[in-house]
Structure 1
Amino acid sequence: MISASTTRTLVLLAGLLLLLFTANGALAHAVAEGDKGYIQEISGVHLLSFAYLGAKHMATGYDHILFLLGVIFFLYRMKQIALYVTLFAVGHSTTMLLGVYFNVGINSFLIDAIIGLSVVYKALDNMGAYQRWLGFQPNTKAATLIFGLFHGFGLSTKIIEYDISTDGLVPNLLAFNVGVEIGQLLALGAILIVMGYWRRSRGFWKHAYTANVAMMCAGFILIGMQLTGYFVS
Structure 2
Amino acid sequence: MKQSSPGGRSRAFVPGSPVVQSLLVLLSVLALAGTAAAHAVAEGDKGYIQEITGINLIPFVYLGAKHMVTGYDHLLFLFGVIFFLYRLKHIGIYVSLFAVGHSTTMLLGVYYGWNVSSYLIDAIIGLSVVYKALDNLGAFQRWFGVQPNTKAATLIFGFFHGLGLATKILEYEIAEDGLLPNLLAFNVGVEIGQLVALTIILIVMSYWRKTSSFMRHAYTVNVLMMTAGFVLIGYQLTGYFVA
| TM-score where L is the length of structure 1 | 0.94
C-alpha distance in structure 1 between counterparts of 2:29 and 2:65, whole Å: 17
Q: Which of 177, 182, 207 matches 1:167?
A: 177
Q: Distance in 2 between matches of 1:176 and 1:203?
A: 39
Of residues 18, 31, 46, the one that matches 1:8 is 18
**Following TM superposition, by how much is the alpha carbon of 1:102 offset from its aligned partner in structure 2, in angstroms?**
0.7
State the distance in 2 between where 1:5 and 1:22 align.
21
Cross-structure match for 2:121: 111
Task: Return the letter of the residue paired with 1:221.
Answer: V
Q: Secondary structure at the match of 2:212?
A: coil
Classify the secondary structure of the residue corresponding to 1:188: helix
Q: 8 Å contact 2:69–2:193 — kept in the other structure? A: yes
8 Å CA contact retained: 1:96, 1:153: yes
**Is it true that 1:178 corresponds to 2:188 in the alignment?**
yes
Which residue is equivalent to 1:151? Answer: 161
Give me the whole-angstrom Cα distance separating, in 2, the residues matched to 1:157 and 1:85: 22
- The residue identity in structure 2 corresponding to 1:66 is L
Which of 209, 227, 235 is the equivalent residue of 1:225? 235
Aligned residues: 231
Verify the 8 A CA contact 2:61 2:187 in the aligned structure 1: yes
CA contact (8 A) 1:59 1:187 kept: yes
Contact persistence 2:53–2:175 (CA under 8 A) = yes
Q: How does the TM-score come out when normalised to structure 2? A: 0.90
Q: Which residue of 1 aligns with 2:215?
A: 205
Question: Which residue is equivalent to 2:68?
Answer: 58
**Who is 1:34 aligned against?**
44
Is 1:191 the counterpart of 2:209? The answer is: no
CA distance in 1, matches of 2:34, 2:230: 18
Query: Which secondary structure state, in structure 2, belongs to the residue aligned with residue 121 of structure 1?
Result: helix
**Offset at residue 18 of structure 1 (A):** 5.8
Q: Distance in 1 between matches of 2:211 and 2:137?
A: 20
Identity of aligned residues (%): 71
Describe the superposition over 1:173-223 as per-residue Cα deviations: whole angstroms up to 9, x where unpaired: 000000000000011011111111111111111110000000000000000
Alpha-carbon distance in structure 2 between the residues aligned to 1:199 and 1:19: 25
User: Matches of 1:189 and 1:131 in 2, distance apart?
Assistant: 30
Could you say which residue in structure 2 is the equivalent of 1:48?
Answer: 58
8 Å CA contact 1:26, 1:225 repeated in 2: no
Q: Is the 8 A contact 1:110 1:226 kept in 2?
A: yes
* Distance (Å, rounded) in 1 between the aligned partners of 2:172 and 2:181: 17
- Report the Cα distance in structure 1 between the residues aligned to 2:34 and 2:190, rounded to whole angstroms: 19
Q: Does 1:134 align with 2:137?
A: no
Query: Aligned equivalents of 1:6 and 1:192: distance in 2?
Result: 24
1:67 paired with 2:60, answer: no
Q: Distance in 1 between matches of 2:80 and 2:195?
A: 15
Looking at structure 2, the residues matched to 112 and 133 of structure 1 have their Cα atoms a distance apart, in angstroms, of 26
Unaligned runs of 5+ in 2: 1-12
Conserved 8 A contact 1:6-1:203: no
Q: Determine the structure 1 residue equivalent to 2:7.
A: none
**Counterpart residue number, 1:96:** 106
